[in-house]
Structure 1
Amino acid sequence: MPMPANRRRDDLTQARQMHKALVMYYLEERSQADIAKELGVAHATVNRMIKRGRAEGLVHIKITSPIQDLLELEARLTELGGLKNAVVTPTASDSLETALREVGVAAANHLTSVLQDGMTLAITGGKGVSSVALGLDGGTRRAVDLYPVTGLVQGKHYTDVNHVAAIMADKLGGQSYQIHAPLFADTPEMREMVLQMGPVRKVFEQARQADVMMVGIGSILTDDSSYYELDPDNGIDREAIEAAGARSELVAHLLTGDGTACEYERNRRLISLTLEELRAIPTRIGVASGLNKAAPILAVLRGGYLDTLITDEATALKVLELADSMQGEGEAA
């Protein structure tokens, strides 16, 4: 049965009135009281029209962000690495130092957001974690205990995990515990002996039970790789590293491109937590910056060692580009 003409006119009038109310409210940003006055209706009527317009799908709200590109990169990295979180900072400078400093500040902010009083934090040395220590502003205090996950390296301050732990603990207001063992033992047998030494064993026992771990990700095949500084008294054989298929370094373990441990003799002499022990720590945060870190980051993601990655925009783009190219090569094969 056809709808009476007067009913159709009433419905059309109401629809036009609702349209006007929605335009004035959402596009012209006018108050409901102002709209009611102009339309000659009650304030409550305007409120009902706005709610009805939303309910009937007449209004579509799109929220954009000035950091939308970064958010999209974070989402893509999260999916790629099976991560819980990714934080990407803008790459505002070609300076590697500037980019790493910004990443360090972002990582410091993220770290303090997940730490709570009474927690245990395990860390490595290295440039990435050093940048986090420097990025802490000292204003956010956390009563945490800090433990190293590797032995010591003599040399530049950022390679010394005890030094980095002391700075981080001081800024957080926590307590750092020291390791007194070299990064590499002379033989696998000596490694086992060192790990059973009382002070070393106790430090690593606490590190294994850490709530949060903060680690750097090392490059291997570039000239500026800090891995070659880890044992300056006993030169590291680059040819042997390349022959082992190394693409990344995580907690001084050399990894292949798919994230598995290399068959490399220094891996068997390493004074550190094992890769499986690292995976068992509940929150595992990796920090790295620089295009030379893209392939190492991808290897670590493929190995499933992290649940959080913090890096810069240019590095993130390179990681995703490498991942896409490897997938394309795999499909072609």
Structure 2
Amino acid sequence: MDPGFITLMRKLAPDLIDEITRRALILERIAALQPVGRRQLAAKLNLPEREIRNTAAILKDLGYIDLDASGMSLSGKADEVLETSRAFSKAMSGLTETEKRLCELLPADRVLIAPGNADEDEQVLADVGRLCASKLRSILMSGNTLAVTGGRTIAAVARSLQSPTPLNVMVVPARGGLGRSVEIQANTLAEEIAGKLGGHYRLIHLPDTMDAAALQEMMKLPEVSEAMELLERADVILHGIGTASEMMKQRRLPHTTVSKLISEGAKGESFGAYYDLDGRCLMESTNVGVDLARLKPTCEMVAAAAGASKAEAIIAILRHTRHYLLVTDQGAAERMLRILTE
């Protein structure tokens, strides 16, 4: 969206641009929540129900939405304007400029931001997943190997992935198993993503943590060694980012280790390693999974993380390893911008 055009519209027709912004925002939110009732959408957008009702009536007359007992849904015609509406909403909210600014301040080639804060609205996590899924599909090429971690954000990406035609990709988990939530473990998501893309997958049937001697024995198994070799040859790695405090608790680290990491300023966790705000690795991973140092130079890193609470964690991880793409939300982006410009 041309910034000059937006500026011109604001000067010449502020009343018109406000109405277009409202229509674009409501159309985009209906797409994310459909079917959705007027009252529910009004609460989500913090707008009077009367405004939602009036705008919905206009969008229906234009043929972009359908109204029935279950609520409002997009019509087939809406595909003509949906992506432009999303871009317009993002430009009007200032998120396009924030994306550019974060690219300048962080070692990331591209930053994409979904509106809202996942810490306050669970729907925002789904929006981050949709945004990441769309971009990921355009990055992948036939013959690529994709490695994926687990977690709620990567699960949101998996749910949103679509591929009109099968893509010949190999998907492997970037980690072993972790915790009790099988549905968001790396193995489960690798299989789901491969299915969505029409590709193939290999699994790592190992717990997330093993001592060195046990791991060395397990590496002798053909299925394990094959998966680990595929990891080292990955063309794209899709991963989430955790706050150090939450991941230390989740991994049940010893109290002495936790105290040491906190005193050293641990902020972010990725692939089982912990980093401070400057990107310095405070504790290397002893987990089963990808070794960043052994990846090929052309491997493209894609991170997805949402919520203002993850701002410091995201900065820590990206400062340690340059990324091709970061997908986050407005809450995290605005807090990162404040931290990086203090």
- Shorter-chain TM-score above 0.5: yes
Deviation digits for residues 23-81 of structure 1, max 9, x if unmatched?
xxxx9xxxxxxxxxxxxxxxxxxxxxxxxxxxxxxxxxxxx954221111111111112
Q: Decide whether the 8 Å contact of 1:191 with 1:270 is kept in 2.
A: no
| Pairing of 1:52-201 with structure 2 (within 5 A) | 65-68=88-91, 69-91=94-116, 95-137=120-162, 139=164, 141-185=166-210, 187-195=211-219, 197-201=221-225
Q: Decide whether the 8 Å contact of 2:119 with 2:309 is kept in 1.
A: no
Q: Decide whether the 8 Å contact of 1:143 with 1:173 is kept in 2.
A: yes
Structure 2 residues not aligned, in runs of 5+: 1-11, 13-86
DSSP-derived class of the 1:125 partner: coil
Deviation digits for residues 70-94 of structure 1, max 9, x if unmatched?
1111111111123221111111776
In structure 2, the CA distance between the partners of 1:80 and 1:158, relative to structure 1 (3 Å rule), is farther
- 1 CA distance for matches of 2:264 and 2:275? 9
DSSP-derived class of the 1:199 partner: helix
Question: What amino acid maps onto 2:109 in structure 1?
Answer: K
With normalisation by structure 1, the TM-score equals: 0.69
Structure 1 position 238 matched with structure 2 position 258: yes
- 1 CA distance for matches of 2:192 and 2:255? 29
Question: What amino acid maps onto 1:175 in structure 2?
Answer: H
- 1 CA distance for matches of 2:206 and 2:175? 9
- 2 CA distance for matches of 1:191 and 1:262? 23
Q: Shift of the alpha carbon at 1:270? A: 1.7
The corresponding residue for 2:339 is: 322
- 2 CA distance for matches of 1:229 and 1:84? 31
Deviation digits for residues 199-227 of structure 1, max 9, x if unmatched?
32221111111111101011122xxx255
Larger gyration radius, structure 1 or structure 2: 1
The corresponding residue for 1:275 is: 292
Deviation digits for residues 93-143 of structure 1, max 9, x if unmatched?
763421111000000000111112221111111122111101114546422
Structure 1 residues not aligned, in runs of 5+: 1-26, 28-63, 326-333
Q: Decide whether the 8 Å contact of 2:279 with 2:320 is kept in 1.
A: yes
Matched positions, count: 255
The corresponding residue for 1:219 is: 243
The corresponding residue for 2:302 is: 285
DSSP-derived class of the 1:84 partner: strand
DSSP-derived class of the 1:86 partner: strand
DSSP-derived class of the 1:284 partner: strand
Question: What amino acid maps onto 2:208 in structure 1?
Answer: L
Q: Decide whether the 8 Å contact of 2:148 with 2:238 is kept in 1.
A: yes
Q: What is the aligned-residue RMSD (CA, Å)?
A: 2.7
Q: Decide whether the 8 Å contact of 1:191 with 1:269 is kept in 2.
A: no
In structure 2, the CA distance between the partners of 1:261 and 1:275, relative to structure 1 (3 Å rule), is farther
- 2 CA distance for matches of 1:119 and 1:270? 24
With normalisation by structure 2, the TM-score equals: 0.67
The corresponding residue for 2:6 is: none
In structure 2, the CA distance between the partners of 1:217 and 1:76, relative to structure 1 (3 Å rule), is same
- 2 CA distance for matches of 1:322 and 1:97? 24
The corresponding residue for 1:229 is: 250
- 1 CA distance for matches of 2:213 and 2:106? 35
The corresponding residue for 1:252 is: 272
- 1 CA distance for matches of 2:157 and 2:280? 26
Q: Decide whether the 8 Å contact of 1:153 with 1:231 is kept in 2.
A: no
DSSP-derived class of the 1:255 partner: strand
- 2 CA distance for matches of 1:236 and 1:201? 34
| Pairing of 1:294-309 with structure 2 (within 5 A) | 294-309=311-326
